[in-house]
Amino acid sequence: MLDLFKRARQPSGCRAAVRSRAYLPIAWLPLSLMTQAAYAIPETPPAQEDSNSAASLAPVVITAQASRPTLDPNLPASVATITADQFENWNVVTPEDVLKYAPNMAVRKRFIGDLNSTIAVRGTSNSQTARGLVYADGLLLSNFLGNTFTFAPRWSMVFADAIDKVDVVYGPYSALYPGNSIGATVAITTRMPTHFEADAKVQGFTQHFDLFGVNRSFNGTNTTATIGDKIGNLSYLIGVDHLENTSQPLQFATFPQSTTPAKTTDRPVTGAYFYNDQTNARTAVLGVSNEGLLRTFQDQFRVKLAYDITPTLQAGFTLGYWHQKYNSDTQTFLRDAAGNPVYSGFVNIGGFEYNVPAATFAPSQGSSENFLYGLSLRTRNATGWNAEAIASYFDITQSIARTASSGVPGDGPGTITYGDGAGWKSLDLRTTWTPPTADAGLAAHWLSFGYHYDNYFLDNETYTTTAWRDGGNAAFANAFGGRTQTQAAYAQDSWRFLPRWRFTYGARYENWNAYDGTRSLGSTSVGYGDASESHWSPKASLSFDVTPSLLLRASIGRAYRFPTVGELFQGQITGTSIVNNNPNLKPENDLSKELTAEWQHGDGVYRFTLFQDDVKNTIFSQTNTTVIPNVTNFQNIDKVRSRGFETAYEGQNVLLRGLDLAASVAYTQSKILANSSNPASVGKYFYRIPLWRANVVATYRATEKAAVTLAARYSGRQYNTLTNIDTNPNTYGGTSTYAVMDAKFTYRPTKKSEIGIGVDNLFDHRYYVFHPYAGRTFYLEGRIGI
């Protein structure tokens, strides 16, 4: 299979084979099923293929049993691939950990079990979650109900141990993907068994955290078990997972240093801490608040089935279930003269007066229950026509958040917020044409046509209650709701018109609608009119084989990212006013460009990429300073430009046999060029886009049983404000520059057993993404299988 792949890739030569054990964190692979079908020759017979051999929305690496993938010149964009053979030697607990060393990418994961783990890549920050597509076996996991930290992808629908590989596609250069691919498309492929297997894994982790008034250890565990088999034409994989963890304190109650002299009626207290905040203003820390010490309990259940109806027709079914409970405990540092905790009121700290609101130390708790249903039907012909249909439904059957009105211990008054009934559904239909192998030379075409539909729906209701922990609804407080729907049709052609030249071009037509937008406050309800947009998104990529091992490629693509339900309709309520919504948002309009050189030399693969994104109407929450009073909500920023370069390398047997190395360095300059709502931000760096990112991971396989990994992650200067006033970023409330190191030792006594000892943040560096990241974290894990 690899020889045929090489001949298609290089008309005048072939590449050196590399050992199959190698991983490929920086790989090049087809972005569409047409190019997949062009080079993938099914295993013999087709009925014995793995059920993931024809991934739906995911790009696919072409592999052979004895060799790894080689460079593919037919790509519209750069792609990084992380395989199970690689990340099995990393500290991985949840699926997003697999992305931690991907080129020019960072994962905002504050602690193990964090629901708000978002990705940042190139000119997309970790708060722009609607600019990242995440699929698992073609099922959409992206939470486009909103576009901020609380709308992270639903990683919980995948077991980390079930992942076969993850492909990261940079930029919106393929017509197969919607405008949400402005940042990147993450395509997760999970494995399916070919024979009976059973596996169990237990992980324990602990960190010691010392900041302000907190100095203690925080511990957690994760347990996973799977069972699977292939019986005749039916394959199945069933798994369960349970995670428990307590986070370090994520948020502190802070107040600007007071200049008001204390009154005789103010209660004298001790215990406050002082530090300089992100703008270097002297600030008092009074305790742990809001997202405090978060204790989380998560349970997963997943069933994946595949049935070969015929040797070339396969049906699939996926059921995912995820349940979470959490408790967010708060803590006041303040003590009066008798040593009693003080939660609120006017207090005297060092002779100055502070007014602590009752809700400052209000704890919270909640639970959530989610289901993911997926159906697929696809053909698997080596050449000619293929077709597939994939339908998915993500159902939030329970979402309850309870918050106290004050920090005083007990079951006093509070609020209950329900998010039941929210979710999304999607449908993808696609057909492809692959020319017969004998005709796949000069003037050959690989065609792809498709249709996409998605529907996101949000319903939030909040009530007051007399007992916040377990009381019922008392009075209606407020509600938000709305729907968005997108339909798209696309076509793409990959045309080899000369022996060394290939032109990939296509277009995507999208029709977007927002409707049923409502917001209520008490007895007052506001309805919003429907909105609709339609746009064409053309794409083009031209590649040239300079030599059999050197490829040059130029790509350009237009993309429109449409507003989410939350950006349009959800916001905040202050007093008797409904604020912070903007149902008149324009879609983000991006023109992306990329120049790439890819070179394979010996056992190493090199990539150098120049990129630029010019985005009009970037949707972002900001303050409109041109109106009085100022208005803060989601608004369109007129123009943001991001440009930079990426260098990436992956090699095996580097310097000595058994040493695998992957490294990347990236520079991104993202600046606001026009912003009519906030002129002071023009010329400033955009929110949370570091100038430099660098990752390196080295694994030394000393023997067939033992491996040692040492890795480092670096993120450079970035800003937490659009006007770049945060001059002291490396502190709580700021967004840090950081360099952290990770390590792991893995020992496998047998092929089916494993012991691992690891550490993240080896030197216990204290760094922040407004919230503090975890301190030095130790891991101990054991696995056994049959």
Q: Hey, how many other C-beta atoms are within 10 angstroms of the C-beta on 748?
A: 17
558 close to 539: Cβ distance less than 8 angstroms: yes
**Looking at 54-68, 69-83, 109-123, 703-717, which range is the least confident one?**
54-68
Q: Which run of H or E residues covers position 3?
A: helix 2-9
Domain boundaries, the chain: 2-785
Q: In the predicted model, is pLDDT for residue 388 greater than 90? A: yes
24 Rama class: left (phi>0) / alpha (psi -120 to 50) / beta: beta
pLDDT at 661: 95
Q: Per residue in 662-696, pLDDT tens?
A: 999 999 999 999 999 999 999 999 999 999 999 99
pLDDT digits (tens, 9 = 90+) for 293-332: 899 999 999 999 999 999 999 999 999 999 999 999 999 9
> pLDDT value at position 75?
63
Contact (Cβ atoms closer than 8 angstroms) between residue 107 and residue 98:
no
CA distance 411 to 599: 64
- Cα–Cα nearest to 157, from 366, 372, 308, 4: 372
What span, in angstroms and rounded, lies between the C-alpha atoms of 111 and 341?
Answer: 28
The reported pLDDT for the residue numbered 626 is: 85
Query: What pLDDT, on a 0 to 100 scale, did the predictor assign at position 429?
Result: 97
Give the pLDDT mean for 334-346: 96
Task: Note the pLDDT of residue 71.
Answer: 33
Handedness of CA 763, 769, 772, 777 (dihedral sign): negative
Among 412, 545, 554, which residue's Cα sits nearest to residue 470? 412
Query: Which band of pLDDT confidence, cut at 50, 70 and 90, is reported for residue 441?
Result: low
Q: Strand 753-760 to strand 738-747: parallel, antiparallel, or no bridges (unpaired)?
A: antiparallel
CA 348/CA 382 separation, integer angstroms: 77
The burial class, CB within 10 Å (0-12 / 13-18 / 19+), for 432 is: buried
531-547 and 524-527: which strand pairing? unpaired
Task: Record the pTM.
Answer: 0.88
pLDDT at 659: 94
In angstroms, what CA-CA distances link 624 with 55, 148, 273, 601, 603? 45, 19, 34, 53, 54
The amino acid that residue 187 corresponds to is A
- CA pair distance 330, 345, nearest whole angstrom: 17
Least-confidence region, from 270-284, 364-378, 566-580: 566-580
The three-state (H, E, C) secondary structure of 348-408, written as one string:
EECCEEEEECHHHHCCEEEEEEEEEEEEEEEECCCCEEEEEEEEEEEEEEEEEEEEECCCC
Residues paired with residue 136 on neighbouring β-strands, in sequence order: 139, 188
Q: Give me the sign of the Cα torsion angle 62, 68, 72, 75.
A: positive
What percentage of the chain has pLDDT greater than the value 70? 88
Determine the 3-state secondary structure of 69 from DSSP. Answer: coil
* Residues of the chain above pLDDT 90, percent: 79
Kindly report the CATH class assigned to 2-785: mainly beta
pLDDT tens-digit series, residues 122-175: 999 999 999 999 999 999 999 999 999 999 999 999 999 999 999 999 999 999
Taking the C-alpha atoms of residue 194 and residue 65, their distance in angstroms, rounded to an integer, is 15
Is the pLDDT reported for residue 67 higher than 80?
A: no
Q: Look at residue 389 in the predicted model and tell me its pLDDT.
A: 97
pLDDT at residue 20, as a whole number: 33
DSSP 8-state secondary structure symbol assigned to residue 39: H
* 3 state SS of 333: coil
Q: Please state whether beta strands 345-349 and 267-268 pair in parallel, antiparallel, or not at all (unpaired).
A: parallel
Task: Give the span between the Cα atoms of 312 and 193, in whole angstroms.
Answer: 18
Question: How would you label 698-726 residue by residue, b for 16+ Cβ within 10 Å and e otherwise?
Answer: ebbbeeeeebbbebbbbbbebbbbbbbeb
- CB proximity list for 330: less than 8 A, separation 6 or greater: 287, 288, 289, 290, 292, 293, 361, 362, 363, 407
Q: What is the pLDDT of residues 501-548, one digit of tens each?
A: 999 999 999 999 999 998 888 878 888 889 999 999 999 999 999 999
pLDDT of residue 524: 81
DSSP 620-688: EEEEETTSSS-EEEEEEEEEEEEEEEEEEEEESS-SSTTEEEEEEEEEEEEEEEE-TT-GGGTTSBPBT
- The reported pLDDT for the residue numbered 55 is 36
Residues 47-64: what's their mean pLDDT?
35
Work out the pLDDT band at 377, boundaries 50, 70, 90: very high
DSSP class of residue 725? -
Looking at per-residue confidence, does 771 or 497 come out higher? 771
Residue 32's pLDDT band (cuts 50, 70, 90): very low
And the tokens for 694?
């660098």
Reported as a single tens digit per residue, the pLDDT across 586-635 is: 999 999 999 999 999 988 999 999 999 999 999 999 988 888 888 888 99
Q: What is the mean pLDDT of residues 642-661?
A: 94
Confidence of residue 8 (pLDDT cuts 50, 70, 90): very low
Q: Which of 160, 67, 45, 81 is nearest to 113 (CA)?
A: 160
Mean pLDDT of 201-225: 96
Nearest-5° Cα angle at 116, 571 to 255: 65
| pLDDT in the model for residue 439 | 59
Which band of pLDDT confidence, cut at 50, 70 and 90, is reported for residue 580? low
With a cut of 60, say whether residue 22 has pLDDT above it: no
Average per-residue pLDDT for the chain:
88
pLDDT of residue 571: 61
Write out pLDDT tens, residues 730-757. 999 999 999 999 999 999 999 899 999 9
